[in-house]
Structure 1
């Protein structure tokens, strides 16, 4: 059973009881990402996420890790382009410990200058790691290129220069401005006493009243950037990502495109994989995927290949897009893709972590709860006619961007 609550300060809480499990996952979601940054302080949202693990007035960084490890729990966080999530998965008997540690990190983190300087070195290495991971780099460069007219297109990690300029005062100022209760959601899924957990959270957060939320949200992204770009790297394979305009998170066309993408390039049985890898043997890795944000979305196609084969593989990809636009999906493909979507939804929602994530993200980004039943209903309502309208609307190779990382032949 899913329940929703809202504290007087605007903080939202979403819970789902799962009596058949012995664990609980609790997540704290914040509207904090590169979309809230500028170029001078690019990477600050990600840096704040790192620093919340570096010690509080009550616990050292080591103690935070040890207290969770001691009871077999897991603690982690991640920063995306539009939000940050901190979460702990733990046995149900230790749920109050998880809440206490997350609240300690949120309210009592130290932001010690010596720790900040050490963490800069860690993030510099993270940036270097991405530079040495051409597949990941290609995906990120495509987004940063297509969304270059908006802060959403800034690199999540920041740059060496922007990260190096950060200090305790800047981090604390950002956190006090962006980490506002009205911009946050706590989501919990698993086996727990609902009233006990709610009372505990309210004891921690109920009196939290910061200054009035004055964050100005960035303007809607009106224009995407199209064209071809190359990042030269002396590597054996070239990595290519092609993108066209997709749909936002709340779009009515989202599930139509998810279904089409399943058939087009999302799996080993998809058209791209079967045609270009299995039948022609031109590449080892090829797939397509959707990226969806509040105001915009992308449909991306990735492949890696010998540099001499780039134009050949790209021409076959364009042929598959053209075939999709002209002929659409067969009825059997439509039935299979719908079943695949439903199966993925059901299997993907079996853990407390995935249910916590679905509740938290949908409430934070859509201001509504999207349950598993809601998703299944949307999948069931996809029509054969609707998917072909979506194909015509979005698979438009006349407005396309591509990024190559490696050697461009």
Structure 2
């Protein structure tokens, strides 16, 4: 791995992988809902769309054809704390990819007509998302966990916020966020670092960096709540949220193992209990969400409404058990092997290598070696799992969200205890 400053304020991190012929390249921008004011909600995602609509010298069609003509892939996504524009190409076409992506980042046209049209596209995207309750419930859970905080807001924005954002607002937001101190470039695959750095340095046309990077709002101590949305669906989609850890918290290795034991995979406790033993659900899992200053743990299940009370009783039993008793060495070993296996197998992808570099520098200002992560995982004890479980799974700090036939859910949640 090599890291260098290729222009004032702009850092490039790359990793050469000699066994592949492709390269993944990504521009990571400090632009996400965590940095948006109330009247800007959705601006980061709006800009993600608009950067594909054209530059001063390229049309939207030209951008698409530039990658199709070389057999490459290009895309982007917006997360809570960053936006990533990325591509994957055969190594001989890497310079072309650099040329197009830098043009998109540095010379976005942001045409007023495109703003009007793309607003409609995003409104359709919101509608599509709300019509998928198994996805929509997770946005609701974030809002329930972080009430009145940017991290609780939807990445896509709302119909109200999008209606108030115009081309001038987006131009101002673009200038504030797409500046050198807020951009990290990462690449992995068949590449030569110095050559890539030279291509980028020659094409990056950015203003002088500002003295400091953008900072997200600090977490606000607030009581979590329940958000229930009535929908005429066959299944109820239910999610429970608990306090979690930040990306830099040293306890995160134990936290990830705890998550694996509870609900990651078919051998996990909740999957075995809810599906295999009681046949209450088709799908049940847990996940963790970590940010620069905070995080949360989540439990998701989709089931018939009349099965909710029993399912919550079973979840309460499992949470009580994992908060009162140390897990066995056998269960701990299985969790470690699963977490390590997912990490190691994921590193067979150039995109995952690139993502590890970009996220590390963007969110933590460092890239942790895979070997170090494995060593930290191996060092975790059953006692540490117990400690993290008791600190996270507190009934009075639980948030909840549900989409479906929600009548009777408040009573079921009120009875949940351990």
**TM-score normalized with structure 1 length:** 0.96
Query: What is the correspondence of 1:106-255 to structure 2 with a 5 Å cutoff?
Result: 106-205=105-204, 208-210=206-208, 212-213=210-211, 217-255=215-253
| CA gap 1:87/1:248 in 2 versus in 1, 3 angstroms | same
| CA gap 1:36/1:94 in 2 versus in 1, 3 angstroms | same
CA distance in 1, matches of 2:200, 2:98: 7
| CA gap 1:21/1:218 in 2 versus in 1, 3 angstroms | closer
Kindly indicate whether the alpha-carbon contact (under 8 Å) linking 1:31 and 1:82 is maintained by their aligned counterparts in 2.
Answer: yes
1:91 maps onto 2:113 in alignment: no
CA distance in 1, matches of 2:212, 2:331: 49
1:372 maps onto 2:370 in alignment: yes
What stretches of structure 1 of length at least 5 have no aligned partner?
Answer: none
CA distance in 2, matches of 1:33, 1:288: 24
Q: CA deviation at 1:211?
A: 5.9
CA distance in 2, matches of 1:385, 1:163: 48
What stretches of structure 2 of length at least 5 have no aligned partner?
Answer: 409-418
Q: CA deviation at 1:216?
A: 5.4
Kindly indicate whether the alpha-carbon contact (under 8 Å) linking 1:362 and 1:370 is maintained by their aligned counterparts in 2.
Answer: yes
Q: CA deviation at 1:228?
A: 2.3
CA distance in 2, matches of 1:383, 1:317: 24
Q: Counterpart of 1:104 in 2: which secondary structure? A: helix
CA distance in 1, matches of 2:201, 2:79: 27
1:74 maps onto 2:73 in alignment: yes
Mean CA deviation greater in 377-386 or 274-283: 377-386
How many aligned residue pairs are there? 407
Q: CA deviation at 1:328?
A: 3.0
Q: CA deviation at 1:224?
A: 4.2
Q: C-alpha root-mean-square deviation of aligned residues, in Å?
A: 1.4
Aligned residue among 290, 299, 304 for 1:292: 290
Kindly indicate whether the alpha-carbon contact (under 8 Å) linking 1:116 and 1:168 is maintained by their aligned counterparts in 2.
Answer: yes
Kindly indicate whether the alpha-carbon contact (under 8 Å) linking 1:318 and 1:397 is maintained by their aligned counterparts in 2.
Answer: no
Query: What is the correspondence of 1:309-348 to structure 2 with a 5 Å cutoff?
Result: 309-348=307-346
Deviation beyond 6 Å, 4+ runs, structure 1: none
Q: CA deviation at 1:219?
A: 3.4
Q: Counterpart of 2:391 in 1: which secondary structure? A: helix
| CA gap 1:26/1:215 in 2 versus in 1, 3 angstroms | closer
CA distance in 1, matches of 2:261, 2:212: 44
CA distance in 2, matches of 1:256, 1:334: 10
Q: Deviations over 1:229-259 (max 9, x none)?
A: 2111111111100000010111111110111
Q: Which residue of 1 aligns with 2:358?
A: 360
Kindly indicate whether the alpha-carbon contact (under 8 Å) linking 2:24 and 2:354 is maintained by their aligned counterparts in 1.
Answer: yes
CA distance in 2, matches of 1:289, 1:181: 33
CA distance in 2, matches of 1:183, 1:215: 6
Q: Deviations over 1:90-123 (max 9, x none)?
A: 0000001111111110111111111111111110
Q: Deviations over 1:138-157 (max 9, x none)?
A: 01100012112311211110
Kindly indicate whether the alpha-carbon contact (under 8 Å) linking 1:259 and 1:337 is maintained by their aligned counterparts in 2.
Answer: yes
Q: CA deviation at 1:214?
A: 6.2
CA distance in 1, matches of 2:209, 2:344: 42
Kindly indicate whether the alpha-carbon contact (under 8 Å) linking 1:177 and 1:215 is maintained by their aligned counterparts in 2.
Answer: no
Mean CA deviation greater in 135-144 or 397-406: 397-406
CA distance in 2, matches of 1:272, 1:89: 37
Q: Counterpart of 2:39 in 1: which secondary structure? A: coil
Q: Which residue of 1 aligns with 2:416?
A: none
Q: Which residue of 2 aligns with 1:263?
A: 261
Q: CA deviation at 1:388?
A: 1.8
**TM-score normalized with structure 2 length:** 0.94
Q: Which residue of 2 aligns with 1:44?
A: 43
Q: Which residue of 2 aligns with 1:18?
A: 17
Mean CA deviation greater in 389-398 or 56-65: 389-398
Q: Which residue of 1 aligns with 2:411?
A: none
CA distance in 2, matches of 1:224, 1:271: 30
Kindly indicate whether the alpha-carbon contact (under 8 Å) linking 1:291 and 1:299 is maintained by their aligned counterparts in 2.
Answer: yes
